[in-house]
C-alpha cells in the first residue's frame, strides 16, 4: 500500500501518541515536539527521558506530611526552626510550593493528595486524612489551617476534616476570603464582595 498514513513512520506516530497524552498537549504540538526532539543530539533526548524516569521511579513522599521529598522526612518537617504546632492542610504538592513562595508561613504542612469528590470517585480514604488525624491526636498541634479551594469540593473536604478533628480540641481555621489585592469592586463577584463586607477588618495605616 502507498503512503496514506497520517505519519510517515510508526516510531514518529508512537511518539506523537505518547507526547499528546500529556495534559494540554494536542497532536499538533506533540508532532512539533517530536520533530524538535529528532533534531536534538541523542544524549540530550536521553537526558530528558532519564530525568522523567528518575522522577517517577525515585520519588519519595515525606512520611509525616506526604510532601514530595528526596528524604524520608521532608526539609520542612525536619526543620526545627519551623512551628510544628501549626499544620496547614493543602490539596497538593503545588499548593505547598505556592504558600512557601509567599514567605508568609512558618508552620508545617499536610498534603492530602487530592480532594473529596464523589463525581471523580475520590473518598476520604483515598486521601491522607487518617494520617492527619493521627498527627493531631499525637499532640503538640495547636492549630490546623484548612487551606483548600473555595469551590464545593474544597468546602466539602474542609467540612469533613473539621468534623474529624473537632474532638481533639485544636483550633481549626481557614484562609481569609475577600477581594484580591488590587481587585476592583466593580468586577468582584457578589459572593466574594458580600463575604468581604461581613468579614471586614479594622483599617490599619
CB of 33 to a second copy, least distance (A): 6
Q: x/- site string to a second copy, residues 26 to 55, per CB under 8 A?
A: ---x-xxxxxxxx-x-x-xxxxxxxxxxxx
With beta carbons less than 8 A apart as the criterion, state whether 160 and 127 touch: no
C-alpha cell read off for 28: 499538533
With beta carbons less than 8 A apart as the criterion, state whether 151 and 94 touch: no
Among 26, 27, 59, 173, contact with a second copy (rule: CB under 8 A): 59
Polymer length in residues for the chain: 205
CB-wise, 6 or 186, nearer to a second copy?
A: 6
CB of 36 to a second copy, least distance (A): 5
Q: x/- site string to a second copy, residues 124 to 143, per CB under 8 A?
A: --------------------
d(CA 114, CA 92): 6
Enumerate residues 95-124 that contact a second copy by CB under 8 A.
96-97, 100
Give yes or no for residue 158 binding a second copy (CB under 8 A).
no
CB of 88 to a second copy, least distance (A): 13
d(CA 85, CA 128): 19
d(CA 74, CA 68): 7
Among 82, 84, 164, 195, contact with a second copy (rule: CB under 8 A): 82
Selection from 69, 79, 148 nearest residue 108 by Cα: 79
Beta bridge partner(s), residue 122: 117
Residue with cell 477588618: 201
Beta bridge partner(s), residue 61: 68
d(CA 197, CA 205): 19
CB-wise, 117 or 192, nearer to a second copy?
A: 117
Total of residues contacting a second copy (CB under 8 A)? 63
Q: Which stretch binds a second copy (CB under 8 A): 14-22, 126-134, 169-177, 192-200?
A: 14-22
CB-wise, 103 or 169, nearer to a second copy?
A: 103
Query: What is the distance between the terminal CA atoms of the chain, rounded to a whole angstrom?
Result: 79
Query: What residues line the site for a second copy (CB under 8 A)?
Result: 2-3, 5-12, 14-15, 17-19, 21-24, 29, 31-38, 40, 42, 44-60, 67-70, 74-76, 79, 81-82, 92-94, 96-97, 100
Amino acid at each position: 500500500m502507498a503512503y496514506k498514513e497520517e505519519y510517515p513512520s510508526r516510531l514518529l506516530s508512537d511518539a506523537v501518541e505518547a507526547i499528546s497524552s500529556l495534559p494540554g498537549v494536542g497532536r499538533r504540538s506533540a508532532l512539533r515536539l517530536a520533530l524538535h526532539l529528532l533534531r536534538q543530539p541523542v544524549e540530550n533526548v536521553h537526558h530528558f527521558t532519564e530525568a522523567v524516569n528518575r522522577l517517577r521511579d525515585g520519588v519519595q513522599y515525606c512520611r509525616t506530611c506526604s510532601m514530595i521529598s528526596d528524604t524520608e522526612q521532608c526539609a520542612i518537617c525536619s526543620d526545627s526552626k519551623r512551628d510544628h504546632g501549626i499544620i496547614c492542610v493543602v490539596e497538593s504538592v503545588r499548593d505547598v510550593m505556592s504558600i512557601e513562595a509567599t514567605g508568609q508561613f512558618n508552620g508545617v504542612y499536610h498534603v492530602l493528595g487530592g480532594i473529596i469528590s464523589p463525581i471523580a470517585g475520590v473518598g476520604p480514604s483515598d486521601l491522607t486524612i487518617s494520617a492527619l488525624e493521627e498527627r493531631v491526636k499525637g499532640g503538640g498541634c495547636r492549630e490546623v489551617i484548612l487551606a483548600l479551594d473555595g469551590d464545593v469540593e474544597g468546602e466539602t473536604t474542609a467540612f469533613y476534616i473539621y468534623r474529624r478533628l473537632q474532638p481533639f480540641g485544636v483550633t481549626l481555621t481557614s484562609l481569609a476570603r475577600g477581594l484580591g489585592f488590587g481587585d476592583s469592586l466593580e468586577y468582584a463577584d457578589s459572593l466574594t464582595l458580600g463575604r468581604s463586607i461581613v468579614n471586614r477588618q479594622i483599617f490599619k495605616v
